[in-house]
Amino acid sequence: MINRFTIKEKSEQLNIPFKNLLSASVAEIIIGIIADGKYCNELYLCNIGDFNQAVYKDICISNIYFEYIKEIDEKMAVLYMRDILKDIMAKGSSEAFIVNGTVEEGAIHLKIIVDEMYIPLKIYFDKHRASHEPEKMELKLTAYENRSVVVFTNPKEEELSKHLIEIIEKLELINDMDHYYLAYKILTECPVNGRKVKERLAELLAERSIEINDERINMLEGYRSYTYMKKKWKVELRQVKKSEPAWEDVNICLINFLKPIWKAIEDNVVFLGDWMPQLKRFLD
């Protein structure tokens, strides 16, 4: 069982801040509960890259992101999440967790108490849109020596690359601003392997005979203050029934991701950066 003493001992052993290790350990167990539940085959964990000790050294995990493949409307999605919440609350007691939670705006908001320590977590759920098959991965639980869970994951590199190539090719003539919306969503929710995106994007650029030079990336960056693109973004937000993010934030995030990858493609060198959604930058 997780308790103050075991987490303190482990945090010193691994050189991970106590708060970060506590939150990560609890989040891992919550993922395990969901992975062992009745919806295990229809839920894909999107941010599995967050769950490793290198990340824990820098970041306190507070969000878990899943996608569901079930065909349900918004009302049914709420009932779906409530059912998952009941399962977490019931099974959490076997981990000595005191769990309370609510379902709000596409997420389960958890308030967990372990050995008189409070850990807030949010589990976000979204509709799975990509067509590629999920991967099965083993997640080793940090708080335990010999315990792991198997989860379905949805790597985002292919999906992100396809959104980016549309943005890069169409420039201001892009009609479907969903490409911006979904690319930003991936970059702010999911860790991304920069090498895989660089390799796939290079293939797509070659297929479409797009010249790799600074002019194109500078044009994309210049759209940050372009009134025409701001208006198109406002229309997109109305269509998805959102009031944010601001266009400037979307542009900054995308350019921060694209620039180093574009340079690596231009120079024909290997790119090894791992994108951290919480930081909105590549991990050094």
Same domain, 193 and 208: yes
Whole-number pLDDT of residue 132: 66
Mean pLDDT for 189-215 is: 94
Same domain, 142 and 9: yes
Neighbours of 129 (CB within 10 A): 11
Residues in the chain: 284
Specify the number of domains making up the chain. 2
The pLDDT confidence band at residue 284, using thresholds 50, 70 and 90, is low
Residue 46 has pLDDT above 80, yes or no: yes
Mean pLDDT for 254-276 is: 95
Residue 96 has pLDDT above 70, yes or no: yes
Same domain, 39 and 143: yes
Whole-number pLDDT of residue 63: 94
Same domain, 111 and 172: no
Pick the last residue of a domain from 132, 153, 174.
Answer: 153
Q: 3-state DSSP call for residue 110?
A: strand
CA distances from 166 to 85, 176, 200, 241 (A): 38, 9, 13, 23
Pick the last residue of a domain from 153, 187, 216.
Answer: 153
Same domain, 128 and 188: no
Whole-number pLDDT of residue 146: 84
Neighbour-count burial for 50-85, b at 16+ CB within 10 Å, e otherwise: bbeeebbeebebeebbbbbbeeeeeeebbebbeebb
Mean pLDDT value across the chain: 93
At 65, the amino acid letter reads Y
Whole-number pLDDT of residue 134: 82
Q: Give the separation between CA 37 and CA 87, rounded to whole angstroms.
A: 7
At 119, the amino acid letter reads I
Structure tokens at 162: 């396809």
Pick the last residue of a domain from 129, 153, 177.
Answer: 153
Q: Which of 105-109, 155-159, 257-261 has the highest mean pLDDT?
A: 257-261
Same domain, 148 and 12: yes
Q: Give the separation between CA 15 and CA 92, rounded to whole angstroms.
A: 27
Same domain, 171 and 140: no
Torsion over CA: 141, 146, 150, 153 (sign): positive
Same domain, 189 and 263: yes
Q: Tell me: the pLDDT tens digits for 62-81? A: 999 999 988 888 888 899 99
- Residue 190: which domain range? 157-283
Same domain, 45 and 70: yes
Q: Give the separation between CA 231 and CA 272, rounded to whole angstroms.
A: 36
Same domain, 16 and 79: yes
Same domain, 65 and 163: no
Same domain, 97 and 59: yes
Q: Tell me: the pLDDT tens digits for 112-135? A: 999 999 999 999 998 887 766 788
